[in-house]
Amino acid sequence: MIGNDIVDLNYARHTSKASHPRWAEKVLTAQEKEQLKLFPSPASALWSFWALKESAYKIFYKKTGKRLFIPKKFQSSLTHIQPDFLEACIESPLGKWYGQVQISSDTVHALAVTQKKLFQQITYQTTQLKQTTSSHQSSETRKSLCLKLQQQCRLPAEEFRIESPRYFPQVFVKNKLLPIDVSMSHHHQWGAFAFLQVDQ
């Protein structure tokens, strides 16, 4: 199973209190705060931890249907650190999962998976959005996802419907649920999706 999350760093810089000491206190565990010290740029590192937690939370929600807004319940231990790429193990309430983060000057984009081998099977994409209202963010991200599904599954894009009857996105073709695990995310000017075919 997968989850993904994108953070628009320029927007976050202007709208969030992430630089406030209380923010890290509420979001990061003691171990994560220690790892944060390894980074020359704390802002992108802070948002990387956040995006990993959100990605893992999306898996948790898909599995349980429970809303659990306690970021510290998803603890990331970074196992590989490059300026533009991170790998992590994620301790979730449901067991050990894995994460990756791509860092650019504009965004951090995280993926979380329940099994490490799934990273090789994921298709994902980040897109700069034309409009920033939440309905446009969502519809534009859906459109990008449908186009990508069309390319991979060789079906007309208009035949795909992305709906969220259980409060997370699922892919339907003519009312039939496809065995594709998807995750969508958007934040101000950026949208992202990730998907993989599920073994049946």
Q: Rule CB under 8 A: which residues touch another protein?
A: 7, 12, 15-17, 20, 22-23, 26-27, 50, 54, 67-72, 132-135, 187-188
User: In sequence order, what are the residues at sequence separation of 6 or more whose Cβ sits closer than 8 angstroms to the Cβ of residue 105?
Assistant: 9
Smallest separation (angstroms) from another protein to the CB of 131: 11
State the minimum distance, in angstroms, from the CB of residue 136 to another protein: 10
| Least Cβ distance, residue 169 to another protein (angstroms) | 14
CB nearer to another protein: pick between 12 and 111: 12
Nearer to another protein, 99 or 180 (CB): 99
Residue of 188, 163, 184 whose CA lies nearest to 3: 184
CA dist list (Å): 31 to 21, 25, 110, 147, 184: 16, 12, 19, 40, 29
Complex with another protein: residue 37 or 69, whichever CB lies closer: 69
Distance of closest approach, residue 127 Cβ to another protein, in angstroms: 17
CB of residue 114 vs another protein: minimum separation in angstroms? 21
Q: Which is nearer to another protein, 180 or 194 (CB)?
A: 194
* For another protein, the closer CB: 42 or 148: 42
- Beta-carbon contacts of 165 under 8 Å, excluding residues fewer than 6 positions away, are none
Query: DSSP strand E in 122-188: where?
Result: 123-128, 160-163, 170-173, 176-177, 180-187
The structure tokens 């997370």 sit at 168
- Dihedral of CA 120/57/102/191: which sign? positive
